[in-house]
Amino acid sequence: MFRMIYGKSQEGIILCVGIKVQVPQLTGCLYMDTSYGIKVSFPISPSDIDGDGYYYINRYLAYYATVYDFVAYPGRDPNTGTCYMPGMADNESLNVDITNDPWAVTLTTIPR
């Protein structure tokens, strides 16, 4: 299912889909960076993960022709809201798959 949002851009219609990210066990924070300047981190608790290991990013949509980077971390600083280092898994420079809603993102474990 495509979600069509009518905007005031020259194109008139912007295609976007939901986002779900498969995160490793013990993930406490997910960081998302986009090519249009949005950088945000999400606190994650075990109850936020579905049976297949996916965390659904409910407050954001993935937009066509936008590049995304994701990094999973073990925790988040309660004072600053930033994710703790080191990263556990990531995936960078991903283009949105608008044929699936939500867009399913998998991460690659970062070697230690």
With H, G, I as helix, E, B as strand and everything else as coil, classify residue 46: helix
Q: In this predicted structure, what is the pLDDT of residue 1?
A: 42
Q: In this predicted structure, what is the pLDDT of residue 10?
A: 54
- Phi, psi at residue 67, to the nearest 5°? -100, 140
Q: In this predicted structure, what is the pLDDT of residue 78?
A: 84
Q: In this predicted structure, what is the pLDDT of residue 12?
A: 59
Counting every residue, how long is the chain? Answer: 112
Both structure tokens of 79: 């004072």
Distance CA 96, CA 81 (A): 26
Within 8 A by CB and 6+ apart from 29, the residues are 41, 42, 43, 44, 72, 73, 74, 75, 76, 83, 84
Distance CA 62, CA 84 (A): 24
Q: In this predicted structure, what is the pLDDT of residue 9?
A: 52
What's the average pLDDT block by block, 10 residues per block, for the chain (112 residues)? 47 82 96 94 95 95 94 92 92 93 96 84
